[in-house]
Chain A
């Protein structure tokens, strides 16, 4: 007699999709900025004026714009100047990091993550992704930093389901010798990358960014698509091996060798990126604490 099966993957999946629909709105001003990024004739001064009315956001944007990570040689003292000098894409990075900070700071018991662990992981991946592009002489895909910040947002949706099904997931991983994301797919009906993409789809983020998030554990699934998924995949793998934001999933992921060959990663490039990313993560976390 089987009595332990209380939820099927399809049932969990529909619960998670419902959560994606109920998940809060995109951070303020993101849709305006996404519009401006896609449309060169957009009314940027209007966006700047709107942003200025939000003093908390203004303070954060200025702090980030003056950080060593995003910073310019000369200090930035107004939102207008920040937008002009950093560009709308960078401002989107700043706004998404600021807007998602509270969400990403929450503890996620299902994944064994304490408060701030997921935020640190997101900041590591965003910073490492950009450092990888620099180190490998790749042109940085649009909104790569934002994709890094958002790549694991699906863990917020799946955490309760992981907690409720952890025994089945462990048994599945033992039996099939598969990675944690495969166990999520088999037991929960979707992995955290797909769950995150559902939220970004609802927020009407650009397809390239949604794909980068959706495919970050399966970057060869649609390899012709943007290289962003490949970069996020490697940056994410680096975060896991360095123990940044790894919980019960630990090291139970696969870094795809085909992807690494495709983007031309070497072990020295990878180690160099790790060596510069720690400070950047700490710096970004410090700034976002306010």
Chain B
């Protein structure tokens, strides 16, 4: 078994059945796991902010920083691995918020909205999500089984 850590604003893809992709410290950032059970290929991304319009040049260098550019890139890379949109199982976690922070700090809500919008536009169904609240989360994807787990407040569960 091998563990690959997906750092902030990055994406990893794997077809190794022994691999697990993990991302930590999802505050208002959103982690998205996509898995093709027929190909046994999975990808995990850790996006910080909703939309590339905020800094298009940055999105070109590092698409994973934004939900829209990050997912677009992730689906392209998965397609290159032979994955088809209709066979993808997509899970999301994170998008938390502070106890109070006004509109400016509702980055988590904007990240969730961006995720929903992009999936809807591509006709990809979201299998499950664990978002919101003021908890920090860890998200993992096992490539062999496609199992997605979320850990928050020290408790791990299958999503």
Interface residues of A (CB under 8 A from B): 179, 237-238, 240-244, 246, 250-255, 257, 260, 265-272, 274-276, 278
Q: Could you say which residues of chain A place their CB within 8 Å of the CB of B58?
A: 275-276
In whole angstroms, how far apart are the Cα atoms of A260 and B100 in the complex?
A: 12
Known contacts A241-B27, A241-B101, A243-B27, A271 near B49 by CB under 8 Å: yes
Cβ of A267 and Cβ of B104 under 8 Å apart? yes
Tell me, yes or no, whether B136 is within 8 Å of chain A by CB.
yes
Q: How far is the CB of A286 from chain B (nearest CB, A)?
A: 14
Tell me, yes or no, whether B33 is within 8 Å of chain A by CB.
no
Which secondary structure characterizes the binding site on chain B? loop
In whole angstroms, how far apart are the Cα atoms of A218 and B106 in the complex?
A: 20
* Contact for A251 among B97, B104, B110, CB less than 8 A: B97
Cβ of A257 and Cβ of B102 under 8 Å apart? yes
Chain B 101-143 near chain A by CB (<8 Å), digits 1 or 0: 1111111101000000000000000000000001110000000
Q: Could you say which residues of chain B place their CB within 8 Å of the CB of A252?
A: 98-99, 134
Tell me, yes or no, whether B9 is within 8 Å of chain A by CB.
yes
Q: How far is the CB of A267 from chain B (nearest CB, A)?
A: 4
Report, as a range, how many residues of chain B touch the other chain.
Answer: 20 to 34
Tell me, yes or no, whether B54 is within 8 Å of chain A by CB.
yes
Chain A CB within 10 Å — which of B8, B26, B66, B136 has the most?
Answer: B136
Known contacts A244-B25, A271-B50, A276-B58, A251 near B135 by CB under 8 Å: yes
A-B contacts, 21 of them at CB < 8 A, read: A237-B105, A238-B105, A240-B98, A241-B28, A242-B29, A243-B8, A243-B26, A243-B28, A243-B29, A244-B25, A246-B27, A255-B98, A257-B100, A257-B102, A260-B102, A265-B104, A267-B106, A272-B54, A275-B48, A275-B54, A275-B55
Q: Could you say which residues of chain B place their CB within 8 Å of the CB of A241?
A: 27-28, 96-98, 101, 105, 107-108
Cβ of A257 and Cβ of B101 under 8 Å apart? yes
Cβ of A266 and Cβ of B8 under 8 Å apart? no
* Contact for A179 among B99, B102, B106, CB less than 8 A: B99
Which secondary structure characterizes the binding site on chain A? helix
Interface residues of B in 79-99 (CB under 8 A from A): 96-99
Cβ of A242 and Cβ of B8 under 8 Å apart? yes
Cβ of B98 and Cβ of A254 under 8 Å apart? yes
In whole angstroms, how far apart are the Cα atoms of A276 and B29 in the complex?
A: 15
Known contacts A241-B108, A267-B106, A272 near B98 by CB under 8 Å: no
Interface residues of B in 46-61 (CB under 8 A from A): 48-50, 54-55, 58
Known contacts A243-B27, A246-B25, A272-B54, A254 near B136 by CB under 8 Å: no
Closest B residue by C-beta to A259: B102
Q: How far is the CB of B149 from chain A (nearest CB, A)?
A: 18
Q: How far is the CB of B58 from chain A (nearest CB, A)?
A: 5
In whole angstroms, how far apart are the Cα atoms of A276 and B103 in the complex?
A: 20
In whole angstroms, how far apart are the Cα atoms of A179 and B100 in the complex?
A: 9
Q: Could you say which residues of chain A place their CB within 8 Å of the CB of B96?
A: 241, 250-251
* Contact for B105 among A268, A269, A270, A272, CB less than 8 A: A270
Cβ of A250 and Cβ of B136 under 8 Å apart? yes
Tell me, yes or no, whether B65 is within 8 Å of chain A by CB.
yes
Q: Could you say which residues of chain A place their CB within 8 Å of the CB of B50?
A: 271
Interface residues of B in 27-84 (CB under 8 A from A): 27-29, 48-50, 54-55, 58, 65-66
Closest A residue by C-beta to B57: A275
Closest B residue by C-beta to A239: B27
The 9 residue pairs across chains A and B that have the minimum distance between CB atoms: A243-B25, A255-B101, A243-B27, A251-B134, A257-B102, A241-B28, A250-B136, A275-B55, A267-B104
